[in-house]
Amino acid sequence: MQCVPDAPEGWSDVERELWEAFRHGNVFDRRAGDADTDDPFGDAVWGPSRTVRAEVLAQLLLAGPEAVPGRVASLRMNGVQVTGPLNLAGGRISHYLELYGCRFDHKVLVSEAEASTLRLVDCLLPRLEASRLTTSGDLHLARSRVPEGIRLTDAKIGTDLLLNLAKVGGDRYGRAISADGITIHQDFEAERIEVDGELSIRTARIGGRLSLRGAQLRAAPQNRTCLNAVRVTVGHTLYLTGSADTGWIGSRSYYGSGYGQNPSPDGPITPFRAHGRVRLSDSRFEGACLISGEFHLEGGDELSLRRIHTPELRFTCRTRPTGPVSLSRARVGNLVDTPGAWPRGKHLGLTGFVYECLRPAEPFTIQQRIAWLEGSSVEFQPESYEQLAAALRRDGADDDAREVLYAKQRRRRATLPLPSRVWGLVQDVTVGYGFRPGRAGLWLLLAWALGSAWFATHRLQPLKADENPHWNPVLYTLNELLPIIDLNQGAWNPGGVEQWLSAGLVVVGWLLASTFVAGATRMLQRG
């Protein structure tokens, strides 16, 4: 290619060719056509024929030449080695930037810069400093590797932030991606990303979805947090779920999005994995919060969902979290879960957890649901039982709701002093705290049988000596047990032991009959 006369002096022939490609909006492609040689992450040495200085890129982007008439000036490079630090901090990048398979030997600085769309795909960057960066379009770092981390604090992304399939390492403080306060007007995709260190997006504002499907997050030894998403607002849905492997085959998108062939529902997936603390406290997800990954929690690690707000929480992990999960003060609409998704061993925090409806993704019996409550990290929380019973009633499951309230009374008994525990045990055995009316009926039948047997061999004296009424021990016992019905058995005068036995039958009858009638009434009302 003939050199352009107005190219700056001191530029190499390769850089002059880049100048011309910039003016025409053409792709400056230096790939050799061999996969191993062109691999930006490989060991192949790229010579002078595919090397440009970072200051050349800065001049083109910040003060580049006019475009050839009828063309749009842009910086588009494939397979180029960039030497020296690229410093665009505070600048206005008015031209389109698109780099594929390039290498940088120094960190890239774009802090407080303004740009349209920035695409660095399949690139090797030691570090990206982009705090308070403002773009009117996308920021793409798909498939790139940034071993010393990315800083996007308080950045404003006009459309999408894409980090799919990227590999990001941490700085000396264990922070890999620092994006606190970032604003993304549409989607933040980091699917299948590999992060060694903390991914922090505290107080972020995301207009669309936040997708970490198939992400692999590993906390650094000096910083046990692998995902810090406290006080985040997501306009659509959070995905901490698996990613179908076949969905990434045949993808037409060069930017790393996994939208190739339709994956089979039974096909292999790469699950979301978090090795370290995950913090989602005080966040809002306007669409849904979908969690089905693996949480490897050690020591003081925790999956914190405290005080989150979302219309639907789907918690369907195939592998139980190995540490605590806290939902304290969270408020959700539909709770979609499975019995095997929740941690065991008093590692579940449900204090003040409010949900409107239960929509289990697979069979979830009432006994399993009660065990879910009793797996809470706090010994006894009456409001948790009341919340579960209320949700069941809203779904018309009155029997299950009573089962929960019965379990509440039995759990409460263990927290009472000894005399109260004894009285509670009597209530449980006899009438099931009023939730087992059938049990009261059985006790009534037993008392009737025992009373009849006693009085069959212990005839009472008539109330009036000159009268001789017919003695029927069965009717007399039944008359004493039923507090309202009069069976004309008042002509007898019990004394001694029989007097105490008759009084006991009256008391037992009042207690058991009233419980039985109340239970029967509830059953008739449901019918």
Contact status, residue 230 vs residue 281, Cβ threshold 8 Å: yes
Same domain (yes/no): 205, 165: yes
Q: Beta partners for 348?
A: 325, 376
Structural domains counted in the chain: 2
Q: What is the pTM of this model?
A: 0.83
Q: Are residues 409 and 500 in the same domain?
A: no
Q: Which of 392, 413, 434 is the last residue of a domain?
A: 413
DSSP state, 282? Answer: T
Give the pLDDT band of residue 237 (cuts 50, 70, 90): very high
Q: What is the pLDDT of residue 3?
A: 43
- pLDDT reported for residue 265: 65
Q: Are 152 and 133 in contact (CB under 8 A)?
A: yes
Whether 180 is covered by a domain: the verdict is yes
Domain match, 409 and 430 both: no
Give me the amino acid identity at 524: L
Residue 461 included in any domain: yes
Q: What is the pLDDT of residues 495-508, one digit of tens each?
A: 778 788 878 877 77
Q: Which own/partner contact pairs does 68-71 have at CB distance under 8 Å and 24+ positions apart?
A: 68/23, 68/24, 71/23, 71/24, 71/25
- Last residue of some domain: 413, 438, 464? 413
β pairing state of 461-462 and 492-493 = antiparallel
Residues 81 and 102 in one domain: yes
Q: Which helix (H) or strand (E) holds 406?
A: helix 398-413
Per-residue pLDDT band for 513 (boundaries 50, 70, 90) equals low
Q: How confident is the model at residue 356 (pLDDT cuts 50, 70, 90)?
A: very high
92 within a domain of the structure (yes/no): yes
Question: Are 256 and 164 a contacting pair, CB within 8 Å?
Answer: yes
**Phi, psi dihedral angles at 139 (to 5 degrees):** -125, 115
If asked whether residues 395 and 449 sit together in one domain, one would say no
Residues 444 and 395 in one domain: no
Residues 6 or more apart from 35 whose CB is under 8 A from it?
A: none
* Residue 332 lies inside a defined structural domain of this protein: yes
Res 506: pLDDT: 79
Q: Is 520 exposed, middle or buried (0-12, 13-18, 19+ CB in 10 A)?
A: middle
Q: Which residue has the tokens 């969905």?
A: 247
Length of the chain: 527
492 token code pair: 């007898």
In a domain, 4, yes or no: no
Domain match, 49 and 169 both: yes
Does the pLDDT at position 299 exceed 90?
no
Q: Give me the mean pLDDT over the 39-65 stretch.
A: 94
Task: Determine the structural domain holding residue 280 and report its residue range.
Answer: 20-246+269-413
Residue 273 lies in a domain: yes
Q: How many percent of the chain have pLDDT more than 90? A: 62
Is residue 194 within 8 Å of 247, Cβ to Cβ? no
Residue 354's CB is within 10 A of a number of other CB atoms, namely 16
- Choose one of 413, 448, 479: the last residue of a domain: 413
- Co-location of 86 and 184 in the same domain: yes
d(CA 350, CA 347): 10
The answer to whether residues 399 and 496 belong to one domain is no
Cα–Cα dist 407/365, whole Å? 14
Q: Is residue 431 part of a domain?
A: yes
Query: Does residue 257 sit within a domain?
Result: no
Q: 507 pairs with which residues across the strands?
A: none
- Same domain membership, residue 191 and residue 234: yes
Please, what is the average pLDDT of the chain? Answer: 87
Q: How confident is the model at residue 468 (pLDDT cuts 50, 70, 90)?
A: confident
Q: Are 512 and 396 contained in the same domain?
A: no
| 63 lies in the same domain as 201 | yes
Helix 473-481 / helix 437-457 crossing angle, nearest 10 deg: 140
